[in-house]
Amino acid sequence: MTPEKIVEDQTPEVRAQPTVDVEKTEKSIQPLKHGERLARSEFERRYEAMPHIKKAELIEGVVYMPSPVQMDIHGRPHADIMGWLATYRAVTPGVDLGDNATVHLDPNNEPQPDALLRLEPEKGGNSRLSNTGYIEGTPELIVEIAGTNADYDLQDKLGAYQRNGVQEYIVWQTEDKRLDWLQLVEGEYVPLAPDANGVIESEVFPGLRLAIDALLEGDLATVLSELQKGLQTAKHGAFVERLSKT
C-alpha cells in the first residue's frame, strides 16, 4: 500500500473523531448557590470550575458562601490570629499552620477554616495532605472569625467539628467582643476558662497562650508578649523535644 493510500484511508477516521468544546463544557457546569444541598464530590466539581470564587464551604451537606469581608469585623482580627499562630509555628517543629485551607472532614463536610493548626501525621497528627494538596482528616485546632454569622460557626460548624474530633475550637465573635475556646472532652465541647490574668493556654499545643482581653482590644503586642512567655516554659520545651524525636 502506498503512503498516499495510507493517508487517504486514515483521513475519514481522523475527521470522525469528536472534538471537545472546552468553553461549552465549562459553561455547562452549574455555579454554586448558597444554601443548596450537594454531595461533596459535586460540590468540589463545581467549586473547582469557579476559580473566581475565593471561599465556599460544604457544612452538613449545605453550601455556604460568605459575604464580602470587612476590615474591622474580619480582616484585621484574622490577621492578628494568623500572626499569633505563625509565631507559635515558627518555633515548634512538626506543627503546620493553614489560612483558609480546604479540609476534607467527611462526606458531608468540606470547610475552609479561617485558621487551623495541625500536627504532621508522623508527629501523631490526625490529618494529612492528599496528593492534590487538600487536608484529609481532622486538624487538632481550628479558629473561626465570626462577624455576623456567629450562629453558623456556633451551630452547624460546631457540630461538624465536634463529631469529627477537632480537639480545640476557637470562635471569635468580633462584633460582640467575645472569644470562646472550646476543648473536646468525651465527645463534647466544653469551654476552657482563662486564668486569673485572663490567659488561656492550649491543652493540645503546650505553650500556645492567648491573652483574651488584649486580643479583643486589638493589642497584638501584648498578645505576642504573652505567647513568648508560653514559648519559654518547660512544657513547650518538652513538647518540642518530643516532636523532634518522633
pLDDT in tens, 52-66: 877 888 888 888 887
Q: Is residue 202 part of a domain?
A: no
* pLDDT tens per residue, range 17-31: 434 343 444 457 888
- One domain for residues 187 and 86: yes
Tell me, what's the pLDDT at 230?
98
The total of structural domains in the chain comes to 2
* pLDDT tens per residue, range 195-211: 999 999 999 999 999 99
* pLDDT tens per residue, range 121-170: 999 999 999 999 999 999 999 999 987 656 667 778 999 999 999 999 99
- One domain for residues 95 and 165: yes
Tell me, what's the pLDDT at 131?
94
Confidence of residue 99 (pLDDT cuts 50, 70, 90): very high
- One domain for residues 131 and 160: yes
- One domain for residues 132 and 114: yes
| Average pLDDT over all residues of the chain | 87
Rounded mean pLDDT of 106-114?
95
- Burial class, 5, CB count within 10 angstroms (exposed 0-12 / middle 13-18 / buried 19+): exposed
- One domain for residues 127 and 46: no
- One domain for residues 36 and 112: no
CA–CA distance, 123 with 95 (Å, rounded to integer): 8
We report the CATH number of the domain holding residue 123 as: 3.90.1570.10
Whole-model pTM? Answer: 0.83
Tell me, what's the pLDDT at 153?
73
- Residue holding cell 504532621? 120
- One domain for residues 56 and 84: no
CB 198 within 8 A of CB 212: yes
Looking at 42, 65, 88, which one is the last position of a domain? 65
Pairing of strands 141-146, 168-173: parallel
pLDDT for 7 beyond 50: no
- One domain for residues 120 and 192: yes
Q: Is residue 206 part of a domain?
A: no
Domain span at 43: 28-65
pLDDT for 182 beyond 80: yes
Pick from 181, 104, 178: nearest CA to 142:
181
- One domain for residues 37 and 108: no
Rounded mean pLDDT of 67-82?
92
- One domain for residues 75 and 188: yes
pLDDT for 15 beyond 70: no
Q: Is residue 52 part of a domain?
A: yes
Q: Is residue 242 part of a domain?
A: no
